[in-house]
Structure 1
Amino acid sequence: MINVAVIYYSSNGSVHRLAQAAVTAAERAGARVRLRRVAELAPPGLVAADPAWAAHAEATADIPTASLADLEWADAALFGTPSGFGQPAAQLRRFLDTTGEICCRGKVVSSFVCAAGPHAGYEAGLPALDNAFYHWGAVIVPTLRRAPAQTSTQTPEEEPGDACAESIAAVDAQTRRVVGVATALGRRLLATA
């Protein structure tokens, strides 16, 4: 059985909803899954000043904070983040910056990004995450070109925390691909051992 870590940052719940979709898909594919959020870096006063951010922080307070042990446990990992100016959230980048002391070589990884609107940078957010994965020597499962990218663009009509059905379906498909690749690589490694 494959171990999958779904590690994410979400301020208003949109990325959280996509992360939950990844958990569901991985479990349906037969994997053991850990859902982990990365630590919040914003000052508590800033979070409290935004009602949607404060409500989401309170609603997800019981989700464990990601640790290096979660990556060591995982055969595969999916990382989710909002994107601003084409960059992953600072909270997720900070977590990735701590991974230098562990070996992620050969782990199967992928990512999903949620942006606040058209041209908000999701198309650059995915490659920005890939830079860390290259450094690790990880096996990157890219998004499918013909399918909707593994992204969510929140439209003005959507409330914070919404993620469109198309984005959830894309994350579902991507997660199943990640589990499939990790399973196939695991079988191959066992066969050659």
Structure 2
Amino acid sequence: MEPVNVAVIYYSATGTVHALARAAAEGAEKAGARVRLRRVAETAPQEAIAARPDWARHLRDTADVVEAGLDDLDWADAVLFGTPTRFGNPAGQLRAFIDTTGPLWYQGRLAGKVYSAFTASNTAHGGQESTILALGNTFYHWGGVIVPPGYTDPIRFRSGNPYGASHVTGDGVPGDVSLEAARHQARRVADVAAALKRGGWSAG
């Protein structure tokens, strides 16, 4: 059987979600998937970016990461979305990309795919779960198969978030627990997508 196609599509301002996205890509690859790591376009005003040296630096450092397009969603059997939480919701940059998907949705080309999400917040109770659940609302409309990590691996009992991998940026850069949680989530997503593909899953 052909390997499954997994797209990891994310927005990251200062690098935290980027690190989780890279770990997720590694996990999916380890599961045998073909992977595309894609960042969504930065839409913030230049003056806002320039006011935060770490933001401007991260934008320069990741300029070589291919920007996400609708063809990446069309290509994928499974998609993991990553975003920092913004007041308990996905970042506007990721929402702006999602808002361009109407043509694919209208043709039914987003249905039947596996979807999952991961996030980061500045504080321990900064809206991580609600951000992931908010993305679920989009996946429902698309007719997607939502695959959370749950407590399906010992790392989940250390990371503590069954909704999706997450990290508290106030604690510093993502460490081994957060990164392994992202790898496990992506492996699980790839495995479920492969099982559906083997079983002749139809989006209809």
Provide the TM-score with structure 1 as the length reference. 0.93
Aligned-partner Cα distance in 2 for 1:180–1:28: 10
Percent identity over the alignment?
52
Q: What per-residue deviation string (whole Å, max 9, x for no partner) do you get for residues 12-42 of structure 1?
A: 0000000000111111111111110001110
Asked if the contact 2:149–2:184 (Cα under 8 Å) also holds between the matched residues in 1, the reply is no
TM-fit CA distance, 1:44: 1.4
Match of 2:130 in 1: 124
| Partner secondary structure for residue 66 of structure 2 | coil
* Cα deviation, residue 167, structure 1: 1.3
Structure 2 gaps of 5+ residues are none
SS in 1 for 2:200: helix
Shift of 1:143: 3.0
What residue in structure 2 maps to residue 69 of structure 1?
Answer: 71
Name the structure 1 match of 2:101: 99
- Which residue identity does 2:110 align to in structure 1? C
Query: Which runs of 4 or more aligned residues in structure 1 lie more than 3 Å from their structure 2 counterparts after TM superposition?
Result: none
> C-alpha displacement at 1:81, in angstroms?
0.2
Contact 2:149 2:188 in 1 (8 A): no
1:40 pairs, out of 20, 35, 42, with: 42
Aligned amino acid, residue 62 of structure 1: D
Aligned with 1:45: secondary structure? helix
Q: How many residues align?
A: 186
2:16 is aligned with 1:14: yes
**Deviating more after overlay: 94-103 vs 9-18:** 94-103
How far is 1:145 from its partner?
4.3
Give the Cα separation in 1 of the matches to 2:53 and 2:93.
19
Partners of 1:145 and 1:183 in 2: how far apart?
Answer: 20
TM-score by structure 2 length? 0.88
> Where do residues 170-181 of structure 1 align in structure 2 (5 Å cutoff)?
170-181=181-192
Q: Deviations over 1:92-121 (max 9, x none)?
A: 011111112102100011000111112211
Name the Cα RMSD after superposition: 1.2
Structure 1 gaps of 5+ residues are none
